[in-house]
Amino acid sequence: MIPAKFDYHKADTVDEALSMLKEHGMDAKLLAGGHSLLPAMKLRLNMPGVLIDIGRIPELRFIKEEGDEIVIGAASTHHDIARSELLQDIIPMMNQAAELIGDVQVRNMGTLGGSIAHADPAADWPALLLAADAKVVVKGPNGGRSIDASDFFTGFYMTALEPEEIITEIRLPAPPPNTGSSYQKFMQPASRFAIVGCAAMVTKKGGACDRVRVGFAGVADAPFRDTAVEAALQGQEPTEENIGAAAEKAAADADIMSDHFASEAYRKHLARVYAKRALMAAV
């Protein structure tokens, strides 16, 4: 299908984009990679009168180490993340997830910021940001603010982002020594969205799991951290038996989705399977 008529504006800086957002108000939408917005426009589920292209703003595309954090610009593509040696050395689950997203064209154009702003419950990045204790940095007409990932994703396609705000960067705290991470998912064969995706970070100390983080995508109508799995493995030896026992608690308190891809019972089963796989790979 063909989208409804719209005007197109290209912003060269974040401040210019914010000015355009203020000028056009609720009739405007931000365009980065376009892989979430444009399909919705073609189906006329979304009909903005103005598109503001922020995908080529240089200040939004970078991956760097800054103090004890890894900082990723919001316009960094999935391909950028997949090929980042810095992330591979410190938080390799980010590279793993990027490689599993869509196809080559999607990875070359789709952006981290665009994905999390859209907040599709089957998207991969939200689960990883939750497991990594990330912060989402945004800028609006009243200045900037930092939002914990746990507070950013608020519901079905919903976030804490205000209408006139732009995501500028994502900050990932560098994990402690002896930390492993992994992202594993059971994907839709065509779109490669997550039917169930699980991100795990485990820090080992003295032969036990000292710090455990588990994030899920695709299971419920919003991504979530599975604190029951985390608590079950905390302080335990990272044996297959202990990991399996912890994984059995996966999605126990979640309002699990059911659709033509997977029933509620099957998704719950997959959550347990992929929690175990992600945790085993992380340790």
State residue 38's pLDDT score.
Answer: 84
User: Spelled out in words, what is the top-level CATH class assigned to the domain 58-173?
Assistant: alpha beta
Kindly report the pTM of this predicted structure: 0.95
Burial class (CB in 10 A: 0-12, 13-18, 19+), 229: buried
The span from the CA of 143 to the CA of 45, in Å, is 31
Nearest to 232 by CA among 216, 218, 248: 248
Helix (H) or strand (E) segment spanning residue 167: strand 166-173
State residue 121's pLDDT score.
Answer: 94
State residue 40's pLDDT score.
Answer: 86
Give residue limits of the domains in the chain: 7-53, 58-173, 179-282
State residue 178's pLDDT score.
Answer: 97
Which residues make beta-bridge pairs with 52? 9, 30
The span from the CA of 279 to the CA of 139, in Å, is 35
State residue 75's pLDDT score.
Answer: 96
State residue 39's pLDDT score.
Answer: 85
Q: Which CATH architecture has domain 179-282?
A: 2-Layer Sandwich (3.30)
State residue 46's pLDDT score.
Answer: 86
pLDDT digits (tens, 9 = 90+) for 180-213: 999 999 999 999 999 999 999 999 999 999 999 9
Q: How many CB atoms neighbour CB 45 within 10 A?
A: 8
pLDDT digits (tens, 9 = 90+) for 38-87: 888 898 888 989 999 999 999 999 999 999 999 999 999 999 999 999 99
The span from the CA of 268 to the CA of 186, in Å, is 12
Q: What is the block-wise mean pLDDT of the chain (283 residues), using blocks of 10 residues?
A: 90 96 92 86 89 94 97 97 98 98 93 95 97 98 96 96 96 97 96 96 96 98 97 98 98 94 97 98 97
7-53: what fold? 3.30.43
State residue 146's pLDDT score.
Answer: 98
State residue 36's pLDDT score.
Answer: 82
